[in-house]
Amino acid sequence: MKTKTQVCIIDDEKDGREYIALLLENEFPELEIDFQASSVEEAFIYLTKNTPDILFLDIQLNDGTAFDLLSNFKELSSQIIFITAYEHFAIQAIKNGATDYLLKPIKKMDFIIAVNKALENIRKNKAFSSNTTQTNQNNKISLPTLQGFKMITITDIVRCEADSSYTTFYLTDKTKIIVSKTLHEFEETLAEHNFFRIHHKHLINLSHLQEYIKGKGGQVVMSDNSILDVSVRKKNDFLQKVDALD
């Protein structure tokens, strides 16, 4: 079990990696640099087996871009701080779940603000996980919002849909709640309440399942009339899960 907050630095410039490492050593000595890399290939190999708490990711690398790298992962729960020499990449970085982004040359104060933001998100995530475990005993779940959090009755959740580092909850009263957390962070908790992940984008409440339509993977119709794809990989497990409900 890791005890320190772990950091990964991906930058194709050695000077860039060394500068970030120096800033971390001087300003955040409690953080631990777990890995450094200069290419998409090296980063991919590392990230398939490891999930750093904070990931510094240069957008333009010699063998591709940060977005090429992230496209290989359905979800990555790291706090991602993008690094770029071009401000026009900022919008794309935000869409890819950026905690923050830093413009080259990196300014010390911008760096400190970005890391503190990442650390605050990590702290909130831990508090959220603890709170979720507790509220599940009452069949409720706490969903963080910009203003605080909402307590939602789990049986009122029809389905959850992933969108990069965000998750949208669709409720029985037709309302939607968008949470800045990955679907993976809810999957294990909700599995205990009759939820099943039929696709990398969809986690459904089997109590609200209305119909299954045959196909290569097939589709489901939910109580809110949404029609969702079932992935081929998940099809057999899904059908077995439904059969077990009878």
CA distances 217 to 75, 184, 214, 231, Å, are 21, 21, 7, 5
C-alpha torsion sign, points 66, 69, 72, 76? negative
The pTM of this model reads: 0.56
Of 129, 164, 179, which closes a domain? 129
Q: Do 166 and 123 share a structural domain?
A: no
Q: Do 158 and 44 share a structural domain?
A: no
pLDDT in tens, 37-66: 999 999 999 999 999 999 999 999 999 999
pLDDT in tens, 195-207: 999 999 999 999 9
Query: Would residue 1 count as lying in a domain?
Result: no
CATH (domain of 175): 2.40.50.1020
Query: ∠101-107-110 over CA atoms, to 5°?
Result: 50
Alpha helices by DSSP H, listed for the chain, are: 14-27, 40-47, 66-70, 90-95, 108-136, 184-191, 232-245
Q: Do 108 and 154 share a structural domain?
A: no
Distance of CA 149 to the CA centre of its chain: 18
Mean pLDDT for 118-123 is: 87
Q: Which domain holds residue 232?
A: 138-245
pLDDT band at 74 (very low <50, low <70, confident <90, very high): confident
Q: Do 176 and 92 share a structural domain?
A: no
Cβ neighbours of residue 19 closer than 8 Å, sequence gap 6 or more: 106
pLDDT band at 97 (very low <50, low <70, confident <90, very high): low
